[in-house]
Amino acid sequence: MTRNSKSKSPKKKSGLGRGLEALFEDEPQLEQADEEIQEISLAEIRPNPYQPRKKFDDKTLKELSDSIKENGVFQPIIVRKSVNGYEIIAGERRYRASKMAKKETIPAIVRDFDESQMMEVAVLENLQREDLTPLEEAQAYEMLQKNLGLTQEEVSKRMGKSRPYIANYLRLLTLPSKTKRLLQHGDLSMGQARTLLGLKDKEKIDDLAKQVVKEGLPVRKVEALVAAMNADKPQKKTIRKSPFIRASESQLADKFGTNVNISETKKGKGHLSIGFDSVADLNKILAILGVDLDE
């Protein structure tokens, strides 16, 4: 079953720039007055492999499914032909909700998109609807960078965002895994996560993130905590050895053929350590010292 419908350009959204519109304008066939809408079997359709959104809200998906059961799918999804069936370019929520509603087909428009266009549309569609978590958005920008070989500046132009905006999101990917999970699940906000990145001792980020979530600390409080922890970070003391000690270490190292360390304590006391890498090295050191274990 087919029907005709006038294609509509995506609506612009403040802050997004002209990324999606510019991409559509690069494809003349997308501006045709009439496009064929086909009823395609859901069994022939696969999700977009570049879909940045990993988590779909079950409640809103169920609501959309109930609406589709009652009224059908008003807006066709966009797909491209693949070797085995079709791949979704845009409209995965409608696809999932239709499957949930036990539909057998879904209205779709088939368009000829290449890999890079599929990636860009998948990211832009979700950004326009604000469906991505901060971590998913960061991963989407990283995917565009790696798969398309783009710089941060080029990603910012394509997405209609500033370069610092892109850079701030990409920095989230350097967070430790436990903190990333808190961010992904919405327990941590973008502002809180960015502030945690300022902690000098990176091994303490997970523990501080857990504290932030438990106590519900606002960004200002997190900033104060990070500043205090950075100020309290103990500095490693540099022990300056006397020329006599350094000369002694050097001579002993030459004699034994291994590393030697002499550390001084108070009142002329100290420690002497001689390193070795094997049993043969140990036997050599013992022989030099005149130690005979067979006696």
Known catalytic residues are: 92
H-type helices in 172-218, by residue range?
177-184, 190-196, 205-215
Q: How far is CA 105 from the centre of its chain?
A: 35
Residue with tokens 């998109």: 113
- Concatenating the DSSP letter of every residue in 52-70 gives ------HHHHHHHHHHHHH
Distinct helix (H) and strand (E) counts, the chain: 13, 8
Element (H, E) at 253: helix 243-256
Rounded distance between C-alpha atoms, residue 248 and residue 13, angstroms: 73
